[in-house]
């Protein structure tokens, strides 16, 4: 190993162990082949409204923290929120760095710089967060994803930045 470089993480093995420790039945991994719903943008990024969907369990002080067991709720974070008012809770990653600097998992300060420098047209009024590692793919597909899509459409978002954790 060079320097401090760590070996790769076996994601499936790690997640299976994590879910098992939480009392879930053995996870059944599935793969669903779908046609891509991605679309090209019709205007320059510098004229586009940028939205965010982040799975790091980020919430604003005063909002309810996420729970670890199949929490398919989301939080709408105002894009002008004070960084000091952001919190993180999650069962699948070490929160130490996120709690020290929320930008590690939710790069709000960098997004604001992109906005201020004209790289993007503007940030959407709300940035959306949820719990990553939701056990039920069906609930994500049927409950969470449609609501997030609708919120982004309501906010007239042109481009979505997906931030997985």
pLDDT one-digit tens code per residue, 18-68:
778 877 777 676 667 777 667 788 899 999 999 999 999 999 999 999 998
How far apart CA 1 and CA 107 sit, in angstroms, is 30
pLDDT one-digit tens code per residue, 97-124:
999 999 999 999 999 999 999 999 999 9
Give phi and psi for 122, each to the nearest 5: -170, 160
- pLDDT of amino acid 127: 98
Question: What does the DSSP 8-state code read for residue 131?
Answer: B
Contact between residue 122 and residue 115 where contact means Cβ atoms under 8 Å apart: yes
What is this structure's pTM?
Answer: 0.83
How far apart CA 131 and CA 65 sit, in angstroms, is 10
pLDDT one-digit tens code per residue, 78-103:
999 999 999 999 988 889 999 999 99
Name the residue among 49, 67, 69 with its Cα closest to residue 57: 67
Name the residue among 66, 68, 77 with its Cα closest to residue 15: 68
- pLDDT of amino acid 126: 98
């Amino acid at each position: 190993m060079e320097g401090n470089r760590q070996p790769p993480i076996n994601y499936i093995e790690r997640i299976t162990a994590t879910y098992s420790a939480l009392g879930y039945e053995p996870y059944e991994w599935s793969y669903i082949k779908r046609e891509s719903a991605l679309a090209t943008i019709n205007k320059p990024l510098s004229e586009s409204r940028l939205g965010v969907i982040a799975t790091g369990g980020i919430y604003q002080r005063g909002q309810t923290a996420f729970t670890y067991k199949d929490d398919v709720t989301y939080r709408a974070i105002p894009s002008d929120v004070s960084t000091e008012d952001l919190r993180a809770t999650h069962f699948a990653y070490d929160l130490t760095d996120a709690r020290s600097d929320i930008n590690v998992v939710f790069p709000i300060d960098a997004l604001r710089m992109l906005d201020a420098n004209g790289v993007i047209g503007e940030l959407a009024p709300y940035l959306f967060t949820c719990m990553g590692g939701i056990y039920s793919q069906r609930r994500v597909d049927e409950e969470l994803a449609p609501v997030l899509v609708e919120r982004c459409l309501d906010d007239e978002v042109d481009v979505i930045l997906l931030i997985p954790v």
